[in-house]
């Protein structure tokens, strides 16, 4: 028996690889266009690190007018979770990272290079495995777990590297007839690569992020097809990225050590390897030490966390861009109003050690992002968020949309918009006093700041209400009247006037307006008081002033 006959015996129905080579022709793209992919395994909730990889892959494809596709890697069926695929696809869509090609929610392919889910590509992998066997580049291996344990023990005793390689392999040089006999007898087997590598030799790899790296060649006869007939990740990714026309594999750097093996697989298959860009993981600082953001320990590792907190996707996106390229921040400062898509991401500017995830910084980015939204946009976001996560807030804003829009419009749309909201879960606290029933419900002893004397407060409030308040005043007039009020009651019209001669005054105009602010809102710090008064309206203002 020869190799070809052995290959036929193992995979009698597998097609010749020429069938697939023709079915998936080289992509017709313009010069410089990069084809990237995100290739998640549907084994758990969507991780922020996955979103980060997808974002970079999509951005690089878009920047070069290339293609970004998503391939679901589900060959490890033991680890799969229910709805894992739709969770991934929905998260990508939420963040504006929809791929050009993938599967839809019913598992149908969108694109010409599918199936985009590995479990439907079994025949393809088997064809390529058959090809390798027929070329003598792969072989069936019958080793049992006991055999493998024995090999390992012997290696350890001899102080040698462990693994299935070189002289330690039991099945690599098994006569073909013997292998055929075992198969015919129904013995279990897997398919291994017959590695042509030599550990003593080095290969050079130029990673698009990590730069030049040197590795020893791979000499392990790794498993390419498992006993369930499905491929290992290593084998599957090589065939898929070849047939799907990936030109740049962007993936987590836990795979960087596999590069020698992967390049060897492309070599053995006789096809051109893609380029690789290995992304350092997102890290977290804990007790002064850096560690990977962990699904188990860190709630912020799950993409769903941001949705629950109400951190807008635009903010998460910008923040991830910040982590990816440190020059993003200065670009943003110089281009405040540009769309983030105009920023040019450069892989060689990505850090080679993991970037630190900083929640404070994310919330800061988020405040700026939210400050640019219109009142309508804020309303829509808060409406959708509160519908799911905060019934009280939902009822407040949806009962009277016009009023809510006025509230959200306070200090918005001008050159220095308010920046006090970082997430939708902050909104309730920042607007609740604008709602009468909630305002009176929550009334406690106010912090009046500087002026605390009850009589004095009463005098200021009454005087303001009776002689200095007119809802029709424009902002300047309103402020001038506040000064008039201050003057009348013995306070300085200007802060600096007060500072020059504090002994001449009871205080200054700021102290007076703080009293009015606290009486009207229950807070010493709020957005612009004039705008608040305008939104509350005359009757409400009078009512609140009367109450104290
Ligand atoms: N399925 C692999 C993972 O989830 C993909 C690695 C790759 O992008 O090639 O880690």
Q: Is the CB of 251 under 6 A from ligand 1?
A: yes
Mean pLDDT score, 348-367: 94
Banded model confidence at residue 512, pLDDT cuts 50, 70, 90: very high
Answer whether residue 548 shows pLDDT above 60: no
Ligand 1, atom 10, residue with closest C-alpha:
40
Mean pLDDT score, 201-209: 96
Q: Other CB atoms closer than 10 Å to residue 341's CB: what's the count?
A: 11
pLDDT tens for 105-164 read 888 999 999 999 999 999 999 999 999 999 999 999 999 999 999 999 999 999 999 999
* Ligand 1 pocket: which of 41, 84, 242, 295 to mutate (most atoms within 8 A of CB): 41
Answer whether residue 443 shows pLDDT above 70: no
Contacts of 526 (CB under 8 A, 6+ apart): 433, 517, 532
Q: Which two tokens stand for residue 165?
A: 């390689």
Q: Compute, in angstroms, the gap from residue 392 CA to the centroid of ligand 1.
A: 42
Range of lowest pLDDT (206-215, 412-421, 474-483): 412-421
Higher pLDDT: 220 or 437? It is 220
**Spatial distance between the Cα atoms of 133 and 190, rounded to a whole number of angstroms:** 12
Answer whether residue 82 shows pLDDT above 80: no
**33 vs 65, 116, 274, 316, CA distance in Å?**
5, 21, 13, 27
Q: Is the CB of 50 under 6 A from ligand 1?
A: no
| DSSP codes of every residue in 397-453 | HHH-HHHHHHHHTTT-SSSS-----SSHHHHHHHHGGGSHHHHHHT------TT---
What are the backbone angles phi and psi of residue 301, rounded to the nearest 5°? Answer: -75, -25
Q: Compute, in angstroms, the gap from residue 41 CA to the centroid of ligand 1.
A: 7
The dihedral over CA atoms of 186, 187, 188, 191, expressed in degrees to the nearest 10, equals -100
Element (H, E) at 480: helix 475-488
Mean pLDDT score, 266-278: 97
Q: Compute, in angstroms, the gap from residue 312 CA to the centroid of ligand 1.
A: 27
Q: Is the CB of 138 under 6 A from ligand 1?
A: no
Mean pLDDT score, 527-534: 96
Ligand 1, atom 3, residue with closest C-alpha:
40
What are the backbone angles phi and psi of residue 114, rounded to the nearest 5°? Answer: -80, -175
Mean pLDDT score, 504-532: 93
Amino acid 363: pLDDT: 98
Scored b (16 or more CB within 10 A) or e, 424-449 reads bbbbbebbbbbbeebbeeeeeebebe
Amino acid 81: pLDDT: 72
Residue 225: which of 75, 79, 80 has the closest Cα? 75
Answer whether residue 100 shows pLDDT above 60: yes
Amino acid 447: pLDDT: 66
Is domain 3-13+122-279 classified as CATH 3.40.50.620?
Answer: yes
Q: Is the CB of 73 under 6 A from ligand 1?
A: yes
- C-beta of residue 232 within 8 angstroms of C-beta of residue 226: yes
| DSSP codes of every residue in 351-396 | -SSPPBP-HHHHHHHHHHHHHTS-HHHHHHHHHHHHHHH-HHHHHH
Average pLDDT, the chain: 94
- C-beta of residue 47 within 8 angstroms of C-beta of residue 302: yes
**488 vs 456, 491, 512, CA distance in Å?**
13, 7, 11
Q: Which atom of ligand 1 is nearest to the CA of 254?
A: 10
Range of lowest pLDDT (85-94, 186-195, 261-270): 85-94
Q: Compute, in angstroms, the gap from residue 274 CA to the centroid of ligand 1.
A: 15
Q: Is the CB of 278 under 6 A from ligand 1?
A: no
The dihedral over CA atoms of 14, 19, 24, 28, expressed in degrees to the nearest 10, equals 160
What is the separation of C-alpha 262 from the centre of its chain, rounded to a whole number of angstroms?
27
Q: Compute, in angstroms, the gap from residue 281 CA to the centroid of ligand 1.
A: 13
Banded model confidence at residue 325, pLDDT cuts 50, 70, 90: very high
Element (H, E) at 134: helix 122-134
Amino acid 446: pLDDT: 63
Mean pLDDT score, 518-547: 94
**Spatial distance between the Cα atoms of 350 and 252, rounded to a whole number of angstroms:** 13
Q: Which atom of ligand 1 is nearest to the CA of 37?
A: 8
Q: Other CB atoms closer than 10 Å to residue 65's CB: what's the count?
A: 11
**Helices 3-10 and 176-184, packing angle to 10 deg:** 20
Q: Is the CB of 205 under 6 A from ligand 1?
A: no
What is the separation of C-alpha 294 from the centre of its chain, rounded to a whole number of angstroms?
14
**Spatial distance between the Cα atoms of 60 and 83, rounded to a whole number of angstroms:** 28
Q: Which atom of ligand 1 is nearest to the CA of 241?
A: 9
CATH number for region 443-547: 1.10.10.350
pLDDT tens for 447-478 read 666 788 889 999 999 999 999 999 999 999 99
- Extents of the domains making up the chain: 3-13+122-279, 375-425, 443-547
Answer whether residue 374 shows pLDDT above 60: yes
Q: Other CB atoms closer than 10 Å to residue 505's CB: what's the count?
A: 19
* Ligand 1 pocket: which of 35, 233, 234 to mutate (most atoms within 8 A of CB): 233
286: left (phi over 0), alpha (psi -120 to 50) or beta: beta
Amino acid 545: pLDDT: 93
Q: Is the CB of 47 under 6 A from ligand 1?
A: no
Amino acid 452: pLDDT: 80
In the chain, what's the furthest Cα-to-Cα distance? 111
Amino acid 440: pLDDT: 83
Amino acid 79: pLDDT: 67
Mean pLDDT score, 192-203: 97
Amino acid 547: pLDDT: 78
Answer whether residue 358 shows pLDDT above 90: yes
Amino acid 80: pLDDT: 66
Higher pLDDT: 414 or 457? It is 457
**Spatial distance between the Cα atoms of 303 and 305, rounded to a whole number of angstroms:** 5
C-beta pairs of 194-202 under 8 Å, 24+ apart in sequence: 194/136, 194/137, 194/138, 194/139, 194/221, 195/165, 195/219, 195/220, 195/221, 195/222, 195/264, 196/137, 196/264, 196/267, 196/268, 197/260, 197/264, 199/161, 199/165, 199/166
Amino acid 295: pLDDT: 87
Banded model confidence at residue 437, pLDDT cuts 50, 70, 90: confident
Please give the radius of gyration of the chain, using alpha carbons only, rounded to the nearest integer: 33
Mean pLDDT score, 474-490: 96
Q: Is the CB of 71 under 6 A from ligand 1?
A: no
């Amino acid at each position: 028996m020869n190799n070809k006959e052995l290959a036929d015996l193992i995979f009698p129905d597998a097609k010749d690889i020429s069938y697939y080579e023709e079915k998936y022709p080289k992509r017709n793209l313009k010069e410089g266009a990069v084809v990237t992919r995100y290739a998640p395994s549907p084994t758990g909730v969507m991780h922020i690190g996955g979103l980060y990889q997808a974002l970079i892959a999509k951005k690089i494809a878009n920047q070069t007018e290339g293609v970004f596709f998503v391939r679901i890697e589900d060959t490890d069926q033991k680890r799969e979770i229910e709805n894992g695929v739709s969770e991934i696809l929905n998260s990508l869509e939420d963040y504006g990272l929809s791929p050009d090609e993938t599967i839809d929610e019913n598992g149908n392919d969108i694109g010409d290079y599918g199936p985009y889910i590995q479990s439907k590509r079994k025949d393809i992998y088997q064809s390529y495995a058959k090809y390798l066997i027929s070329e003598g580049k792969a072989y069936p291996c019958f080793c049992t777990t006991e055999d493998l344990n024995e090999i390992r023990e012997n290696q350890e005793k001899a102080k040698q590297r462990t693994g299935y390689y070189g002289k330690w392999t039991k099945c690599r040089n098994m006569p073909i007839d013997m292998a055929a006999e075992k198969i015919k007898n129904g013995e279990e087997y897997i398919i291994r690569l017959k590695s042509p590598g030599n550990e003593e030799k080095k290969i050079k790899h130029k990673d698009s992020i990590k730069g030049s790296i040197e590795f020893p060649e791979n000499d392990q006869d790794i498993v390419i097809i498992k006993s369930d007939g499905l491929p290992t990740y290593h084998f599957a990714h090589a065939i898929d990225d070849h047939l799907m026309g990936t030109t740049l594999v962007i993936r987590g750097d836990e795979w960087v050590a596999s590069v020698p093996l992967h390049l060897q697989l492309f070599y053995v298959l006789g096809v051109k390897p893609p380029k690789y860009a290995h992304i350092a993981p997102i890290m977290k600082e804990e007790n002064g030490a850096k560690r990977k953001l962990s699904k188990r320990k860190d709630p912020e590792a799950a993409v769903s966390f941001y949705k629950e907190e109400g951190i807008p996707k635009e903010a998460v996106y910008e923040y991830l861009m910040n982590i990816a390229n440190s020059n993003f921040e200065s670009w943003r400062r110089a281009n405040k109003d540009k769309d983030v898509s105009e920023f040019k991401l450069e892989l060689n500017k990505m850090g080679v050690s993991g970037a630190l995830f900083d929640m404070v910084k994310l919330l800061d980015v988020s405040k700026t992002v939210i400050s640019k939204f219109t009142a309508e946009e804020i309303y829509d976001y808060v409406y959708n968020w509160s519908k799911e996560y905060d019934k009280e807030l939902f009822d407040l804003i949806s009962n009277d949309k016009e009023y809510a829009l006025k509230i959200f419009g306070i200090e918005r749309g001008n050159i220095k918009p308010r920046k006090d909201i970082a997430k939708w879960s902050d909104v309730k606290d920042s607007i609740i006093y604008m709602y009468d029933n909630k305002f009176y419900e929550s009334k406690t002893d106010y912090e009046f700041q500087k002026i605390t004397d009850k009589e004095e407060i009463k005098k200021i409030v009454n005087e303001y209400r009776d002689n200095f308040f007119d809802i029709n005043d424009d902002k300047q007039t309103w402020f001038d009247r506040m000064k008039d009020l201050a003057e009348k009651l013995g306070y300085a019209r200007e802060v600096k006037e007060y500072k020059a001669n504090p002994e001449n005054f009871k205080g200054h105009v700021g102290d007076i307006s703080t009293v009015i602010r606290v009486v009207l809102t229950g807070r010493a710090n709020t957005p612009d008081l004039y705008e608040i008064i305008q939104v509350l309206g005359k009757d409400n203002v009078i009512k609140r002033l009367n109450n104290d």
